[in-house]
Chain A
Amino acid sequence: MSNQVINLLQQLRQSALSKNLKALISYHEEDSYLMRFANSAISLNTNEHLISLDFIAFDGRKKVSYSMIVDPADLASMEKGLDTLSEMLPHAQALTYEPTFPVYERDVVDERSFDPALAALTNEERLAYFNTLAEGLESDDVKLSGIFASGTTTTAQISTANEYTQYFRATDAQVTAVLSSESLKWEVNAEQSAQKKSDLDAQGLHADLALLVQHYQQDQAAQIPVGKYTVVLGPAATAELISIMSYYGMTGGALMQGYSFLKEEDQGKLLFSEKMNLMDDPREVEIYAQEADRFGLQRKPFPLISEGRFQAFMWDQDTADEFGKTVTGHDVSRFSLVMDGGDAPFATLKDLLEMPRDEDILYIPYIHYMNVVNPTQGMITGSSRFGALLLKKDGSVQVPYNVRLTQRFYDFFGEHMQWLSEKQVAYNVSSSYGRRDPTALKIPRFVCVKEIEISHSNPSY
């Protein structure tokens, strides 16, 4: 734990108090590294070290905020940020409800997801990892692309209410490796999420890529007919579906804003497959879980779906304040979603390809550019990409050109769910649009669903 961070927060708290501000002061520091590959070369090697502060000032029903990316040595600028808050506050409009002011009741230090070895990963190690995963798979036509993103995220909070602080530190890595044919324009990929250095397994990615490249080079590519298919989803597809479903369906904000496909009276109802168990679980270190939320509430395992029954909505502080609801420890920048595995013994791509089958199965590892067509119907659309395979019932394999599917969440996670892999994997869904915020889900390696409608099928790569 960095005393420097806590000292800075204590200093800023004193400064806020001296300005008669009732404020929440939040610290965010990222040390981010990204090695990007394209056309079998390192196309970019970058790092960013950024420190941000967020101030929120409260005055009864008034609330204003000020954010800064700061030079950590420049205390004067930070003080000016607090001055800006003071200037803004009188002009703010009062809310129609009383916003909760955070009062921490204990010091929290949560570094369970921090691994010094991953934090200290070198450029040489990132390059060696990629060299291993691609070894022997590149050619004049087949080129390597990908990213190795890793970093450390430190967040901390203090409020002017007292001297208690919250401090969180996590390391994360996200690897995407793509092999693509320059002439034919096909692509295959393999991905890995890591919380600690020992999670990194370049050989595992190599095995998956080698298998996919073999099929994409040897097996016939085809425009498959549109219609209903039994589909096996890979971890990327499942993780993104769960992520979007939970955000659009299971948050109090989505419910109150009228976007959710779930209604308040749906709590307790059997709406999903009885095979389906989904929980927000702050005990899961490998998906960067945090033990307390931004308002100091202790986070606890929070069932969302239990044996198919939808359990409850997740409430952040502001929405709960506005609508008179009880907070659930979900004033967090990321959930810690865990979907239980099932009893299917398929743990690797090789297992899946060798699985005995009496029907054609479409393997879709990744749904590209997923978007919500109709939130109140829980309907999404997206297309396949990266290594889809049609596993024919005669044991052969075809390579399908990309297909589009426009389906409801219930079509994936409802009565048509067939089986789930026993093995679960962590899948990193972190976005780097804004500040580093390591986010991952733990999900079954494969999820099999019947009667998924393919509405469009490309005539070529």
Chain B
Amino acid sequence: MKDSIRKYIDQLHAKGAHYVDARWYPREDSNFLFMWNGNLKENNASSQSGMGVRVLYNGAWGFSASSDLSNPDAIFAKAFDNARIASERVTFPIRLAEKEAVVGSFNSPNKIDPFTVGLDEKVAFLQKIDAALNQPGVVQRISMLQFVRKQIIFMDSEGSEIEKNIIEVFPSIQAMGIDKDGGMQRRTYQPGRTAPTRGWESIDETDFLHNADRIINELNQVLVADDAPNGKMSVILLNGIMFLQTHETIGHALELDRILGYELSFAGGSFVRLEDFGKLQYGSEKLTARANALEPNSPGSFGFDDDGVPAQDNLLIDKGILVGAITGRQMVEEANAKAKKQIFEGSSGANRATSFYRVPIERMTNINIDPGTDGSLEDIIANTKYGLVLDGDKSWSIGSNREQFHFACDIGWLVEDGQKKQVVKNPTYRGETLPFYNSLTAVGDESTWNVHYVDNCGKGAPNQIMQLGHGVPVCRFDNVQVGE
């Protein structure tokens, strides 16, 4: 197949295509097991294969994909034709930032391929966890396992040829109960990076049993708790909500395609402007954020992006100042041209597609916040006059330019005069992105930092789901509106 792909790429290049690439997925497997109250409601395996072809012609993209590989020529021809039509309406001819031709490979770290583990063993794990969740106060219990294994062959007209073999493992558990006012409450546990590899071996039964007890204990406190207070106060965000705050208001806001207006008809834009780079006080001096696709063992680390650019670690916000973005080859060229100066030196290697039948777009890698110097969680609480410790991503809603947000959490703990007090239920908070990050007054040290995995980041038209990570510490923000 590779020889055929190379032949078709060369043919289109000879016909006038400026650039051609193909992503061939010989096979992608997934396995999803979902247990609800002891019933294995989903016991699904799936597979897919196919090819996506991207053609740049006269400054415009065309893309075509098919699962029918009996006639690959048709996929290439259709992609070329799509580009030809697109080139009839071009305002800024697409150019691609320079890159070296790469011949390489990437294998995500794992010891035990989860697809070699028998169904019996997986079901037994779920049964054990379900039994652990079946405790007083819990009226609904969920445990699930999701595994993905994909092989991707990337080839382009610049001579690159990359093979990636990626395995993803996403387990999670959830316990739900009815509170004293009749409302449904929940606590969840989705492990982040718990091991140096992420094959079947990363599913640690002891860790799950421990966390099942923890979330049930917390849930039972929520069930009898009063509502969270309203008003302005400090919020101390634990990893289980800080990852999402980072995701929605730093990650998405700094995708360069969004900044340049390429997402307006679907997910929205960004308040960030090209002239902001190097100048904008995004947050307080305690805020340093980076896009680190080299973070060991995370879904946001993938070796090479789908432009064929090697993974990198790049600063986004340096001590509060905006310095970088999440970029691919096309967008950095357009941004530099529009800004009439070189803001970006090259692609940051963040152009990814969710499958063979979707086109690569700027996606988050591991969007991390560097740990700070304000000590442990206990230290931060001890230095807080009045506020809430918050955890759990119950709901999230973000303004169309990522300029404001509203989050609801699963649990809150009241903090008064440096003391962690009782649990409160239904906590929410909202804010405007820049004032919020400029009110960052404490960033936890390494002891509070962990990589949280995300398996469901949606973006793009047509829509794409992507997997990534967020390494975040505990953070405290002051003067935040809580309870609306």
Q: Which of A39, A77, A81, A402 has the most CB of B within 10 A?
A: A39
Is A69 among interface residues, defined by CB-CB distance under 8 A? Answer: yes
Contact between A456 and B41, CB atoms less than 8 A apart: no
Q: Which residue of A has the minimal Cβ distance to B264? A: A145
Give the CA-CA distance A35 to B88 in the complex, in Å: 12
Q: Which residue of B has the minimal Cβ distance to A122? A: B85
Q: A42-B86, A64-B43, A456-B404 are in contact. Are A258 and B178 (CB under 8 A)?
A: yes
Contact between A69 and B48, CB atoms less than 8 A apart: yes
Interface locus among B202-210, B279-287, B311-319, B395-403: B395-403
Interface locus among B14-22, B342-350, B456-464: B456-464
Is A328 among interface residues, defined by CB-CB distance under 8 A? Answer: no
Contact between B91 and A39, CB atoms less than 8 A apart: yes
CB distance from B465 to the nearest CB of A (A): 6
Known interface pairs A68-B47, A386-B400, A433-B464; 12 further A-B residue pairs with C-beta atoms within 8 A, sorted by A's residue number? A43-B61, A46-B462, A66-B44, A69-B67, A72-B67, A81-B47, A84-B45, A147-B461, A373-B408, A385-B399, A458-B399, A458-B404
Q: A46-B63, A92-B119 are in contact. Are A68 and B48 (CB under 8 A)?
A: yes
Q: Which residue of B has the minimal Cβ distance to A130? A: B89
Q: Which of B64, B461, B484 has the most CB of A within 10 A?
A: B461
Contact between A91 and B123, CB atoms less than 8 A apart: yes
A370 CB contacts on chain B under 8 angstroms: 397
CB distance from B410 to the nearest CB of A (A): 12
Give the CA-CA distance A182 to B61 in the complex, in Å: 22
Interface residues of B in 444-462 (CB under 8 A from A): 458, 461-462
Interface residues of B in 54-110 (CB under 8 A from A): 60-70, 78, 81-83, 85-92
Is B118 among interface residues, defined by CB-CB distance under 8 A? Answer: yes
Q: A41-B92, A63-B43 are in contact. Are A123 and B82 (CB under 8 A)?
A: yes
Is B120 among interface residues, defined by CB-CB distance under 8 A? Answer: yes
Is B261 among interface residues, defined by CB-CB distance under 8 A? Answer: yes
Is A318 among interface residues, defined by CB-CB distance under 8 A? Answer: yes
Interface residues of A in 49-88 (CB under 8 A from B): 49-51, 63-74, 77, 81, 84, 88
Is B277 among interface residues, defined by CB-CB distance under 8 A? Answer: no
CB distance from B39 to the nearest CB of A (A): 5
Is B116 among interface residues, defined by CB-CB distance under 8 A? Answer: no
User: What are 19 A-B contacts defined by CB distance under 8 Å?
Assistant: A42-B87, A42-B90, A45-B60, A45-B83, A46-B462, A47-B65, A47-B82, A66-B44, A66-B46, A69-B50, A72-B67, A91-B120, A93-B43, A369-B399, A370-B397, A383-B397, A385-B400, A402-B404, A433-B464
CB distance from B48 to the nearest CB of A (A): 3
CB distance from B407 to the nearest CB of A (A): 9
Bitwise interface map of A from 228 to 263 toward B, beta carbon under 8 Å scored 1, else 0: 000000000000000000000000000001110000
Q: Which residue of B has the minimal Cβ distance to A189? A: B265
A383 CB contacts on chain B under 8 angstroms: 397, 399-400, 404
B87 CB contacts on chain A under 8 angstroms: 42
Is B372 among interface residues, defined by CB-CB distance under 8 A? Answer: no
Is A211 among interface residues, defined by CB-CB distance under 8 A? Answer: no
Is B357 among interface residues, defined by CB-CB distance under 8 A? Answer: yes
Contact between B64 and A404, CB atoms less than 8 A apart: no
Contact between B461 and A432, CB atoms less than 8 A apart: yes
The 8 Å CB contact of B426, one of A34, A39, A374, is: A374
A8 CB contacts on chain B under 8 angstroms: none
Q: A180-B261, A385-B400 are in contact. Are A65 and B43 (CB under 8 A)?
A: yes
Contact between B48 and A406, CB atoms less than 8 A apart: no
Bitwise interface map of B from 229 to 263 toward A, beta carbon under 8 Å scored 1, else 0: 00000000000000000000000000000001110
Q: Which residue of B has the minimal Cβ distance to A68? A: B47
B66 CB contacts on chain A under 8 angstroms: 48-50
Q: Which of B119, B264, B268, B408 has the most CB of A within 10 A?
A: B264
Is B49 among interface residues, defined by CB-CB distance under 8 A? Answer: yes
Is A290 among interface residues, defined by CB-CB distance under 8 A? Answer: no
Is A334 among interface residues, defined by CB-CB distance under 8 A? Answer: no
Is B296 among interface residues, defined by CB-CB distance under 8 A? Answer: no
Contact between B61 and A373, CB atoms less than 8 A apart: no
Is A107 among interface residues, defined by CB-CB distance under 8 A? Answer: no
Q: A69-B67, A71-B69 are in contact. Are A258 and B86 (CB under 8 A)?
A: no
Contact between A123 and B81, CB atoms less than 8 A apart: yes
Is B394 among interface residues, defined by CB-CB distance under 8 A? Answer: yes
Is B271 among interface residues, defined by CB-CB distance under 8 A? Answer: yes
Q: A38-B261, A45-B86, A258-B178 are in contact. Are A456 and B430 (CB under 8 A)?
A: yes
Interface size bracket, A side: 35 or more
CB distance from A387 to the nearest CB of B (A): 11
Give the CA-CA distance A48 to B40 in the complex, in Å: 33
CB distance from B390 to the nearest CB of A (A): 14
Give the CA-CA distance A76 to B484 in the complex, in Å: 57
B13 CB contacts on chain A under 8 angstroms: none
Contact between A178 and B265, CB atoms less than 8 A apart: yes
Contact between B430 and A404, CB atoms less than 8 A apart: yes
Is A176 among interface residues, defined by CB-CB distance under 8 A? Answer: yes
Give the CA-CA distance A95 to B48 in the complex, in Å: 28
Contact between B406 and A147, CB atoms less than 8 A apart: no
Contact between B39 and A96, CB atoms less than 8 A apart: yes
Interface residues of A in 341-358 (CB under 8 A from B): none
Give the CA-CA distance A146 to B265 in the complex, in Å: 5
B82 CB contacts on chain A under 8 angstroms: 45-47, 123
Q: A40-B91, A91-B119 are in contact. Are A72 and B60 (CB under 8 A)?
A: no
Give the CA-CA distance A459 to B49 in the complex, in Å: 49
Interface residues of A in 156-189 (CB under 8 A from B): 176-178, 180, 182, 185, 187, 189
Is B182 among interface residues, defined by CB-CB distance under 8 A? Answer: yes
B64 CB contacts on chain A under 8 angstroms: 46-48
CB distance from B181 to the nearest CB of A (A): 9
The 8 Å CB contact of B39, one of A146, A322, A376, A431, is: A322
Give the CA-CA distance A437 to B408 in the complex, in Å: 30
Contact between B261 and A143, CB atoms less than 8 A apart: yes
Q: Which residue of A has the minimal Cβ distance to B408? A: A373
Contact between A185 and B271, CB atoms less than 8 A apart: yes
Is B183 among interface residues, defined by CB-CB distance under 8 A? Answer: yes
CB distance from A306 to the nearest CB of B (A): 26
CB distance from A132 to the nearest CB of B (A): 13
Contact between A95 and B400, CB atoms less than 8 A apart: no
Bitwise interface map of A from 85 to 113 toward B, beta carbon under 8 Å scored 1, else 0: 00010011101110000000000000000
Q: A185-B271, A406-B484 are in contact. Are A371 and B62 (CB under 8 A)?
A: no
Give the CA-CA distance A381 to B428 in the complex, in Å: 11
CB distance from B56 to the nearest CB of A (A): 11
Give the CA-CA distance A145 to B91 in the complex, in Å: 12
